Chain A
Amino acid sequence: MADSGRSQGHPAELATLRILLLGVAVAVIFSAVVTSAVADPRGRVELPGWLVALTTSAFAVLLVVGVAAPWLGARALRRGAATGVALFFAALVLFAPVSGALTGTGSGGTLPWALTTFGGFAVAAVVAGGARLGWTSTVVWVCLVVLYRLLLGGYSMIGLANDAQALMTAAALCVIAAHALRTSRELDAAAGRAEQFAAEQGAARGRLAARARVAAFVHDEVLAALRGAAEYTPDTATAVQSQARRAAAMIDADRDVSDWIEQLRAMAADAGADLQINCVPQALVPRRDVAEAMLIATRQALDNSVRHAGPCRRSVRLEVGGSDLLLRIADDGIGFSAESIRPGRMGVTASIVGAMRDVAGGTGRVTSEPKHGTTVELRWAEASDGEDDDVAGTPGPTLDGDRVGAFVATVLFVATQTLVAVAASVTVTDSWWMPLLILAGILVSAALTLPSLPAPTIRNVATVVLACVTVLLGLLATPAPLTYGSAWFLPAAGFVLVAVALNARPVLAICGLVVMLAMLLTHAALRDGEAVQLVSVGVRTATTVGLGTLLSVAIVRLRRSTRALARRAVTATEQREWDAAARHELEDHAAAMDDLAGPFLSRVAAGHALDAAGRARARGIEGRLRDGYRAGRLLDPALIDAAMRARTRGVDVVLLDDAGDGRVEPATATAVAAWMRVLLDEADNRFVGRLLPPDRPWAAQVLVDDRAQTYHG
């Protein structure tokens, strides 16, 4: 069950493990075909049945795990891969006493082909234990193979070519598989962060929307009271007083959120927790959003404790500094393990940590151990960015491992191909330079795939063309019959195609492979090659390119998904900023309501008579509160004062910021406000000031009584 949980938490990694082992299964099938059908049994050590069975079981395990991969979890896949690799090495090690290689009593012959192919097992080793196990097992394998070869009579050209290309295949697949797994972990980490972020934002939005509704309700009541006061008559006196009382009470209730320590005290009492408060002499008073976040997180922490901690002692300790706050909620209850909380799930992470992260400078940390209680620490500091929290962030992908692996594979490629080419040059009787010329073609085409060069598309096409031309040259220049050894350049060109596939050009790589195999077939048809040798070289090349291409496609898709998540993260960040701005708007409105309407309505509620000046004042305040919703960038202090004066003298003033989301330079907004202020002072009955949408020829217009005027800048 734990495996299932892990798999659910790492879907990209699980999918990649499955793809890798599916590829391994395909490679195993190819190897089985070559071994059983066409591999040349001549000159090989006679193996006892149990060793054949052991070797076969290694391949069979990988085949079964690969075929069943879509239905297996990560742990089962890793164990299956490890089992296959272990069986393979058991067979390889036990080959020593069977062959008599160590005692010098060998009956002659060399290694069976099945033990000289390692690409699939290298991938399986990476799956089982990561890049380190992949490389280690590859090195051990090549050392044993070289040792056996030397002890059993030395290297033939075919053996050298086979081992060199098999080593290169294993190395290349190690690099690619490790890179694919690393990329998948990066994607899972990004997805986890995105999910967590979304959960936190959801909670924050919920709070903000609820807050907005409350504010709207208060606002509606206050406007009704002010309107009534502005239209006050003796007939409406009782109703006006009653409405003013109601609105004033709502403002007070809304303001209560600022008295957050009292609320904290009540919460602690409800939960049966001891409360301790320590304040420095110049203790800060937190902003409304900070206090709200602290209270929300505290309530969640106490609720969780009451519900899940069992019988225990609870404590709430608040320390208020000059510029920071620390609130610690602790219990000595049953606690929980970190693993039982999935990242990104609502609950502790979203509600407590999320509430604190939602305010700039806020952090939340939840620590708990089974049977040792839970402690929640909420911090807020004025100048902090508040980035660290309790979420055990998955370490970011380090590219160093990939770079080192790629470097090793490149060096190995140059070394092995040079070794084989030089060997081929020595063994041919004439045209000794031809293998070296072919080597030059292979190396130059490989160099064209280096990522630092410009014009990737043209370069990759040129690479494939050059590799194909090199293979053609090799096929024409190599004397018949073609052997695995003399056709060494074909698998070599296959590695170049793998590099092309890794440059995000899988179709091009497959096209190159098809052309190369077609040339090989044509050569076989025209010049009578040995089927065993031709199939071996063809299968090796096809397997390498096929696996490499499959993995490169998987990597490209993983990268694409990661990029999509990154884009989503940007959008989410924008949304978060929008939320923050909306919250500030709410705070501004609440403050305006408090400062302007509160004292006035309290007087009306207390029964103070409303004379003409009082009614004018009510008109002015009501208009000012309306401006808070529609005047937007026109809320310039001087213009607000002018509007208040105008309303007090009976002018109907409407200020409209209709520029929407369009960008208005602060200097322009200030200049427009100054222009409107002058005109507003001239108005007798009516004034409409309008900041225009961005697609209009002018920035602003006003209507002063019946005269329309335009701001020309």
Chain B
Amino acid sequence: MSSETELVAQPKRVAVVDDHELVAMAVQAIVDDTPGLVFARHETSMKSLIRPGQDADLVVLDLSLPDESTPDENVQAAVAWGASVLFLTAAENPFLVRAASQTAALGIMRKSAPREVLSAALLAAAQGECVPTTEWASALDTDPILRSAPLSAREREVLSLYALGLGAREVGEMLFVSENTVNDHLRRIRSVYHQLGRPAATKVELYRRSLEDGFLPTPRHG
């Protein structure tokens, strides 16, 4: 039996954890229109999602929930429950995106991304594939700690082009390599970034992060 047949036979269940009903409705509309996916339910916190009897394969998780939970805790809870995670974010705050990139989540999507892009991302994530996006690549490409990471020049080039909004196919064409090679580079970048961890923060850094945690950008005009 081919995997395609398997997919049709067993659609992947998608749950949404977001404090806004509108977001859940939008995701549900996309899921309903995407073959191979079925909407499971909507909850406003990870705590209320987790219950005996796993009924979702993919959790679409708000990156910034109003409760005291952190992205990392929520991802760990979902993974322990047996589900994969795809983050949704309202604004592309690099700090939060970087924090999310170091979790086991498969990707970070902008809520305002075009419908077809969101649909493709949901489908890929439901099948356990990583979902590299412009927001993810941009946040990593500008992360100071990645500067000293053991990445090759080609990998850095791939990351930079991805941060520009190009897909794996376009990047491959520009660099004269196959789409698979680009995906290999992206997987390795993701793996290296996972291993980096965050360095011990100074007080100033902690303070800045606390501000950034509130979606405040670092000053650029001051």
Give chain A's interface residues, CB within 8 Å of chain B. Answer: 205, 208-209, 212-213, 215-217, 219-221, 223-225, 227-228, 230-231, 233, 235-236, 239-240, 243, 575, 577-578, 580-582, 584-586, 619, 622-623, 625-626, 628-630, 632-633, 652, 654, 656-658, 660-661, 686, 688, 690, 692-693, 695-696, 701-703, 706, 708
Bound CA–CA A215/B211 (angstroms)? 11
Nearest A residue to B26 via CB reads A231
> Is there a chain A Cβ closer than 8 Å to B114's Cβ?
yes
- Given A209-B210, A688-B164, decide whether A585 and B216 contact each other with a Cβ distance below 8 A: yes
Residue in A580, A623, A702, A703 whose beta carbon sits within 8 Å of that of B222 in the complex = A580
By a CB distance below 8 angstroms, the chain B residues around A658 are 138, 141-142, 163
> Is there a chain A Cβ closer than 8 Å to B174's Cβ?
yes
Q: Is B219 a contact partner of A219 (Cβ separation < 8 A)?
A: no
Q: Is B90 a contact partner of A224 (Cβ separation < 8 A)?
A: yes
By a CB distance below 8 angstroms, the chain A residues around B23 are 224, 227-228
Residue in B22, B166, B222 whose beta carbon sits within 8 Å of that of A228 in the complex = B22
By a CB distance below 8 angstroms, the chain B residues around A660 are 142, 144
Residue in B91, B142, B163, B221 whose beta carbon sits within 8 Å of that of A223 in the complex = B91
User: Besides A236-B22, A582-B222, 8 other CB < 8 A contacts?
Assistant: A224-B90, A236-B26, A580-B222, A626-B90, A629-B93, A657-B220, A690-B138, A708-B170
> Is there a chain A Cβ closer than 8 Å to B74's Cβ?
no
| A676 to B: closest C-beta gap in Å | 13
By a CB distance below 8 angstroms, the chain B residues around A586 are 216
Q: Could you list 5 examples of A-B contacts with CB < 8 Å?
A: A227-B111, A231-B26, A582-B222, A654-B92, A686-B165
Q: Is A217 a contact partner of B66 (Cβ separation < 8 A)?
A: yes
Q: What is the total number of residues of chain B having a CB less than 8 Å from a CB of chain A?
A: 47
Give chain B's interface residues, CB within 8 Å of chain A. Answer: 20-23, 25-26, 29, 64, 66, 90-94, 111-114, 134, 138, 141-142, 144, 147, 160-161, 163-166, 170, 174, 204, 207-208, 210-211, 213-222
- Given A236-B25, A586-B216, A622-B112, decide whether A224 and B91 contact each other with a Cβ distance below 8 A: no
Q: Is A213 a contact partner of B214 (Cβ separation < 8 A)?
A: yes
Q: Is B22 a contact partner of A630 (Cβ separation < 8 A)?
A: no
By a CB distance below 8 angstroms, the chain A residues around B174 are 708
Bound CA–CA A654/B114 (angstroms)? 12
Q: Is A577 a contact partner of B222 (Cβ separation < 8 A)?
A: yes
By a CB distance below 8 angstroms, the chain B residues around A213 are 213-214
By a CB distance below 8 angstroms, the chain A residues around B218 are 582, 661
By a CB distance below 8 angstroms, the chain A residues around B160 are 692, 696
By a CB distance below 8 angstroms, the chain B residues around A628 are 217
By a CB distance below 8 angstroms, the chain B residues around A205 are 207
Residue in A223, A695, A701 whose beta carbon sits within 8 Å of that of B164 in the complex = A701
Taking chain A's interface residues, is the majority helix, strand, or loop, or is none over half, making it mixed?
A: helix
Bound CA–CA A213/B64 (angstroms)? 11
Q: Is A630 a contact partner of B20 (Cβ separation < 8 A)?
A: no
- Given A239-B22, A652-B113, decide whether A209 and B222 contact each other with a Cβ distance below 8 A: no
Residue in A227, A575, A625, A688 whose beta carbon sits within 8 Å of that of B204 in the complex = A575
By a CB distance below 8 angstroms, the chain A residues around B219 are 578, 581-582, 584-585
Q: Is A215 a contact partner of B163 (Cβ separation < 8 A)?
A: no
Residue in B144, B164, B221 whose beta carbon sits within 8 Å of that of A584 in the complex = B221
Nearest A residue to B144 via CB reads A660
Q: Is B222 a contact partner of A626 (Cβ separation < 8 A)?
A: no
Q: Is B22 a contact partner of A688 (Cβ separation < 8 A)?
A: no
Bound CA–CA A588/B149 (angstroms)? 36
- Given A227-B22, A578-B222, A630-B92, decide whether A220 and B217 contact each other with a Cβ distance below 8 A: no
- Given A215-B214, A629-B217, decide whether A224 and B164 contact each other with a Cβ distance below 8 A: no
Bound CA–CA A50/B208 (angstroms)? 72
Q: Is A212 a contact partner of B165 (Cβ separation < 8 A)?
A: no
Residue in A227, A580, A581, A630 whose beta carbon sits within 8 Å of that of B26 in the complex = A227
| A679 to B: closest C-beta gap in Å | 13
By a CB distance below 8 angstroms, the chain A residues around B207 are 205, 209
Nearest B residue to A219 via CB reads B215
Bound CA–CA A575/B205 (angstroms)? 11
| B209 to A: closest C-beta gap in Å | 10
Between A584, A656, A660, the greatest number of chain B beta carbons within 10 A of the residue's beta carbon is seen for A656
| A217 to B: closest C-beta gap in Å | 7
Q: Is B142 a contact partner of A623 (Cβ separation < 8 A)?
A: no
Bound CA–CA A212/B166 (angstroms)? 33
Bound CA–CA A623/B90 (angstroms)? 10
Bound CA–CA A349/B111 (angstroms)? 46
Bound CA–CA A626/B94 (angstroms)? 12
Q: Is A209 a contact partner of B211 (Cβ separation < 8 A)?
A: yes
Q: Is A584 a contact partner of B222 (Cβ separation < 8 A)?
A: yes
Bound CA–CA A169/B161 (angstroms)? 75
| B185 to A: closest C-beta gap in Å | 17
Across the A-B interface, give the 5 residue pairs with the lowest CB-CB distance, nearest first: A581-B222, A581-B219, A688-B165, A228-B22, A212-B214
Q: Is B134 a contact partner of A688 (Cβ separation < 8 A)?
A: yes
| B167 to A: closest C-beta gap in Å | 9
Q: Is A216 a contact partner of B216 (Cβ separation < 8 A)?
A: yes
Bound CA–CA A692/B29 (angstroms)? 36
Q: Is A708 a contact partner of B166 (Cβ separation < 8 A)?
A: yes
By a CB distance below 8 angstroms, the chain A residues around B210 are 209
By a CB distance below 8 angstroms, the chain A residues around B208 are 578
Bound CA–CA A563/B80 (angstroms)? 53
Q: Is B204 a contact partner of A629 (Cβ separation < 8 A)?
A: no
By a CB distance below 8 angstroms, the chain A residues around B66 are 217, 220
Q: Is A629 a contact partner of B215 (Cβ separation < 8 A)?
A: yes
By a CB distance below 8 angstroms, the chain A residues around B22 are 224-225, 227-228, 236, 239-240, 243
| B222 to A: closest C-beta gap in Å | 2
- Given A227-B111, A227-B112, A626-B91, decide whether A216 and B64 contact each other with a Cβ distance below 8 A: yes
Bound CA–CA A23/B114 (angstroms)? 79
By a CB distance below 8 angstroms, the chain A residues around B91 are 219, 223, 625-626, 629-630
By a CB distance below 8 angstroms, the chain A residues around B21 are 239, 243
By a CB distance below 8 angstroms, the chain B residues around A215 are 214-216
By a CB distance below 8 angstroms, the chain A residues around B165 are 654, 686, 688, 703
- Given A220-B64, A708-B164, decide whether A623 and B112 contact each other with a Cβ distance below 8 A: yes
Nearest B residue to A628 via CB reads B217
